[in-house]
Amino acid sequence: MSEIVHKKPAAAESQFAYKNLKQGEFWRHVPAYREVDEATFLDHLWQQKHSIKTPEELVGTIRDLAPPEFVADIEAGFAHAPMAVRVSPYALSLIDWNDPHNDPIRRQFIPMASSLLPDHPRLTLDSLHEQDDSPVPGLVHRYTDKALFLPLNVCPVYCRFCTRSYAIGPDTEEVDKVSLAKTPAQWQQAFQYISERPELEDIVISGGDTYQLPPKNIELIGNALLDIPHVRRMRFATKGPAIMPMKIITHTEWLDAIAAIVERGRKLGKDVVLHTHFNAPEEITWITQKAMGMLFERGIFTRNQSVLIRGVNDTPERMAMLVKRLGHVNVHPYYVYMHDMVKGVEELRTTIQTATETEKFVRGSTAGFNTPTFVCDAPGGGGKRDVHSYEYYDRENGIAVYAAPSVKPGKAFLYFDPIDKLSPDAQARWIVPELQEQMIAEALRKAGAASEQLVLA
């Protein structure tokens, strides 16, 4: 037999780093969890009970982990935060307390006053204008055939960058929250609206977070939507698997409820899936793998939607690692969003240019069906646009112009890069209101010349 000639060199060991998930009882390095055994740590009720819910609890938990100046910094940070604090013991234990300032998980959930930047002058609290597209409380109908159902306003963790900081969680010093549909009686209004709009085939159930819905309400909502003949697709959205994967392992009733809706949907020829939200490779551990394996065994298809966050996943290498690691635990990367223009988190946003360069690197690193689409959810209600599909991009001044002909024809939607990422000259121009208007008008003019005439939404 002739010898096989390998035309490609063997893969380097470093290419398999995505398989190296955090193992063991890693939570024991946190003094508050030092005596917690595996069975207790995997108990979802214990995780919920011991989740940090106030800045004071957080400070008390980490005081022995971080230097006093860091603790003072985060205490000051919460005074300016649009979101309340809620962090699970699991998420807290994944933070590298040797370098908490730069840790990608700390950055998502715990603000530091010293890192905060002024909000972009064109930023608004409800940047996506969801309330403008809400025909009844708790329902957003923007796309022709899809609606977003928001049946609750609580989450198992509060992300600093939440696009619904206008409504999610309790009021803060910075934001009085808008009320969503939080009771079954209010949900009926949404169900009635959906039933009367035969074009609505696709419903996203979010909030808040469906992790926080009790099993009976998972089934109530799921069955009510499955009973509507023209609803063909449903997605239950949750951050939960990224920050409390043990709920899938130990809350049997919740998993059974999701599985029951998936199975009934399949019998009716309808597609019911789970959408989740991992942002950093470090969020995926042996516990995640076990939980995702249980979803996979029950036939629950899971997709991921990440946010491109500065200092978390905004380098090509880190994003590629996240994508590969998601595939390794049977989660399909679906979207990577540009960070929405929400209040109080400007230091977490990055540029359209960063997104396009990262996408180029990631594409081709794994199978196409496991490669996410990078999108900009266009401020002003334009919906999700492929990040490359701008009509015009002024890189110097950080202004991207998008059009959404199937959503709001003839309208222009603007995304602005964070000002601190621009040149000194461009930063100086953004200080002057008259120059802001001139830069925007010029970008709109060039966008209109490149395609159809567009009017600012």
Would you call 217 exposed, middle or buried from its count of C-beta atoms within 10 A (0-12, 13-18, 19+)?
A: middle
- 3-state SS class at 333: strand
For position 169, what pLDDT does the model report?
47
Q: Residue 173 above 50 pLDDT?
A: no
For position 414, what pLDDT does the model report?
95
Residue 127: band (very low, low, confident or very high) from pLDDT cuts 50, 70, 90: low
For position 48, what pLDDT does the model report?
95
Q: Residue 171 above 70 pLDDT?
A: no
For position 178, what pLDDT does the model report?
46
Residues 404-423 have pLDDT tens digits of: 998 888 899 999 999 999 99
CA separation for the pair 287, 318 (Å, rounded): 21
CA separation for the pair 407, 131 (Å, rounded): 16
- Residue 307 and residue 319 in contact, taking contact as beta carbons nearer than 8 Å: no
Q: Residue 367 above 60 pLDDT?
A: yes
Residue 242: band (very low, low, confident or very high) from pLDDT cuts 50, 70, 90: very high
Of the two residues 310 and 155, the one the predictor is more confident about is: 310
CA separation for the pair 85, 71 (Å, rounded): 15
Q: What is the mean pLDDT of residues 192-218?
A: 95
Residue carrying the six token digits 């905004």: 314
Q: Residue 296 above 90 pLDDT?
A: yes
- Residue 336 and residue 307 in contact, taking contact as beta carbons nearer than 8 Å: yes
pLDDT averaged over every residue in the chain: 90
Domain-wise residue ranges, the chain: 23-115, 130-389, 399-457
Residue 342: band (very low, low, confident or very high) from pLDDT cuts 50, 70, 90: confident
For position 120, what pLDDT does the model report?
94
CA 326 to chain centre: 15
* Token code pair at residue 390: 């701008």
| E strand segments, 294-397 | 302-308, 332-338, 373-378, 383-386, 392-394
Q: Which of 139-148, 291-300, 387-396 shows the lowest mean pLDDT across its residues?
A: 139-148
Q: What is the mean pLDDT of residues 123-146?
A: 80
Residue 166: band (very low, low, confident or very high) from pLDDT cuts 50, 70, 90: low
- Residue 164 and residue 110 in contact, taking contact as beta carbons nearer than 8 Å: no
- Residue 210 and residue 218 in contact, taking contact as beta carbons nearer than 8 Å: yes
| CA–CA distances in Å: residue 95 to residues 26, 285, 378 | 11, 13, 32
For position 184, what pLDDT does the model report?
84
Residue carrying the six token digits 């740590």: 41
Q: Which of 77-86, 261-270, 271-280, 389-398 shows the lowest mean pLDDT across its residues?
A: 77-86
Q: What is the mean pLDDT of residues 55-62?
A: 87
For position 450, what pLDDT does the model report?
60
For position 128, what pLDDT does the model report?
62
For position 451, what pLDDT does the model report?
58
Q: Residue 177 above 50 pLDDT?
A: no
* Token code pair at residue 264: 């009934």
Q: Which of 77-81, 92-96, 383-387 shows the lowest mean pLDDT across its residues?
A: 77-81
Q: Determine the Cα angle at 417 with ends 414 and 420, to 5°.
A: 150
Complete DSSP assignment for 223-241:
HHHHTSTT--EEEEE-SHH
In the chain, what percentage of residues exceed pLDDT 90?
A: 70
For position 440, what pLDDT does the model report?
95
Of the two residues 15 and 428, the one the predictor is more confident about is: 428
Query: Measured over all CA atoms, what is the biggest interatomic distance in the chain, rounded to whole angstroms?
Result: 78
Residue 138: band (very low, low, confident or very high) from pLDDT cuts 50, 70, 90: confident
- Superfamily holding 130-389: Aldolase class I (3.20.20.70)
Strand partners, 274: 236, 302
